Amino acid sequence: ETGVTQSPTHLIKTRGQQVTLRCSSQSGHNTVSWYQQALGQGPQFIFQYYREEENGRGNFPPRFSGLQFPNYSSELNVNALELDDSALYLCASSPAGTDFSPLHFGNGTRLTVT
């Protein structure tokens, strides 16, 4: 089975720009969660998508938005980038919407905002 893949692996953007990160979920998984991980910290929950709808959101401003597509792949969009947005962005998939299955992570996108 194919695991979770994220693209790009690294990205450098300038403050104020917009960025789109992409995630392909593991085969058979219909739920995707996005996390932001600053250096030396634990992953912070951004939001979760289930069957193409946002299914829960963490404490992130509206300039963080997402999409899930019919094939369960997902995008994370961040507008008006700030220096503090520099982090590792992790996507994780799981096989169901609200049960508590383990998450399967991709290797992340390292975003640097200058």
Which secondary-structure segment (H or E) carries 21?
Answer: strand 19-24
Q: How far is the CB of 29 from other proteins (least distance, A)?
A: 13
User: Of residues 30-59, which lie at the interface with other proteins (CB under 8 A)?
Assistant: 33, 35, 41-45, 48, 50, 55-56, 58-59
Tokens 């390292």 — which residue?
110
Contact criterion met (CB below 8 Å) for 44 and 57: no
Residue 62 found at the interface with other proteins (CB under 8 A): no
Q: How far is the CB of 16 from other proteins (least distance, A)?
A: 26
- Cα–Cα distances in Å, from 102 out to 62, 68, 88, 95, 96? 27, 20, 20, 9, 10
Residues that bind other proteins (CB under 8 A): 4, 33, 35, 41-45, 48, 50, 55-56, 58-59, 88, 90, 92, 97-98, 100, 102-108, 110
